[in-house]
Amino acid sequence: MRKQFVTTMERLLDEDPRLVVLLGDIGVFAFRHAFQKHPKRVINIGILEQATVSVAAGLAKEGFIPLFHSIAPFVVERAFEQIKVDFGYQALGGHFVSVGGSYDYAALGCSHHCPGDVELMQAVPGMQILAPGHPAEFDSLMSQTFASGKPTYHRLSERSNSEARPVTFGKAEIEQLGSGPVIVTVGPFLDRVIEASSGSDATILYYTTLAPFDDETLREHAGDGRILCVEPFYEGTLAASITNALRGKRIALSSMGVPRRFLTDYGHASYHDAACGLLAADIRARLDELRHV
């Protein structure tokens, strides 16, 4: 997905003179051709995330479409107040593209883990939040939102689903329709959800736009209200969106995601998938649990 990010931005830099890419001293080598071609609009801005977000807001006020890229905690957590006030409150358009969400950078420890990014971004009214599950979906969603004039968060993942879906900004995809419980899942978790529910009668709704949340698709396909949400960030992050979409309806919601504790082990992301209970077998067990509700 990181490769696609560079390719997409190279194309948009060529197409739209308003785009300014600000790198927080990461991804610099990958952008080497873009630096050469557009030296004024591709900038390694340095390691100063709070100022960078405010600078990006200044660029937006001057008619540019700024994009800031760094590791998730340094985009979202370090500069959160700048995002809230400078972009959110002032309703400025711009893009925040993170890598390393949740525990993609497992070996680097707490400072580089970020399962709370989406929840924080949800706290900024008007923020568009995207979690593509495939490089082609990133390209599509970035293109669809590029000139939206709204602040937009793109959560890139180290892992992708094997196939891209034809994603539409603001809409959930219906991956599978069944008569059983409804699984709401997000971005890179789709493949494991499909594996977990194989042979079952579950409905699978695939979300890549998390805000604004597609209430309608969920309302239409909520079945008898038994809902399993499988999310690649803190468990319960989408709970408010789901209950809001289904208000007035009797629901049984079960959320699975990164547990709300500090992950103190290192190793690889796959180790944490297992340690956090986020393998296909864990999902299957939760699905079966829901069957008895």
Partner 1 sequence: MASTLRDLREQILRAACAAGEGHIASAFSILDILWVLYHGILRHNPANPADPARDRFVLSKGHASLGIYGILATRGFFPMEELKTFASSSGRLGGHPDSRKVPGVEASTGSLGHGMPMAAGMALGLKIRKSSSRVVCIVGDGECNEGAVWEAALLAAHHKLGHFTCVVDFNHSGDRALMLGDLAAKFRSFDWDVVEIDGHDHAQIEAALKPHDGDVPRAVIASTIKGKGCKEMENNPAWHHKAPKVDELEAMLAQLA
Ligand X SMILES: Cc1ncc(C[n+]2csc(CCOP(=O)(O)OP(=O)(O)O)c2C)c(N)n1
Closest CA to 73 of 103, 52, 101: 101
- Is 81 among the residues that bind partner 1 (CB under 8 A)? no
Asked whether 12 and 142 are in contact (CB, 8 A), the reply is: yes
Asked whether 235 and 184 are in contact (CB, 8 A), the reply is: no
How many residues line the site for partner 1 (CB under 8 A)? 28
Give the residue with the Cβ less far from partner 1, 31 or 207. Answer: 31
Position with the least CB separation from ligand X: 25
Q: Would you call 233 exposed, middle or buried from its count of C-beta atoms within 10 A (0-12, 13-18, 19+)?
A: buried
Q: Which residue has the tokens 């992050």?
A: 237
Minimum CB separation of residue 22 from ligand X in Å reads 13
Site for ligand X in 23-62 (CB under 6 A): 24-26, 47
End-to-end CA distance of the chain: 38
Minimum CB separation of residue 271 from partner 1 in Å reads 4
Question: Binding residue for partner 1 (CB under 8 A) from 267, 281, 289, 293?
Answer: 267
Token pair for 52: 């960078």
Site for ligand X in 77-136 (CB under 6 A): 78
Minimum CB separation of residue 48 from partner 1 in Å reads 4
Token pair for 112: 């580089």
Hey, which bits of the chain come out as E strands? 19-23, 42-44, 65-71, 94-99, 128-130, 151-155, 173-176, 182-186, 203-207, 209-211, 226-234, 252-258
Distance CA 5, CA 31 (A): 10
91 binds, among partner 1, ligand X, none (CB under 5 to 8 A by kind): none
44 binds, among ligand X, partner 1, none (CB under 5 to 8 A by kind): partner 1
Stretch that binds partner 1, among 60-68, 104-112, 173-181, 206-214 (CB under 8 A): 104-112
Minimum CB separation of residue 107 from partner 1 in Å reads 4
How many residues line the site for ligand X (CB under 6 A)? 7
Give the footprint of ligand X on this chain (CB under 6 A).
Answer: 24-26, 47, 71, 74, 78
Give the footprint of partner 1 on this chain (CB under 8 A).
Answer: 25, 28-29, 44-48, 50-51, 73-74, 78, 105-112, 264-268, 271, 275
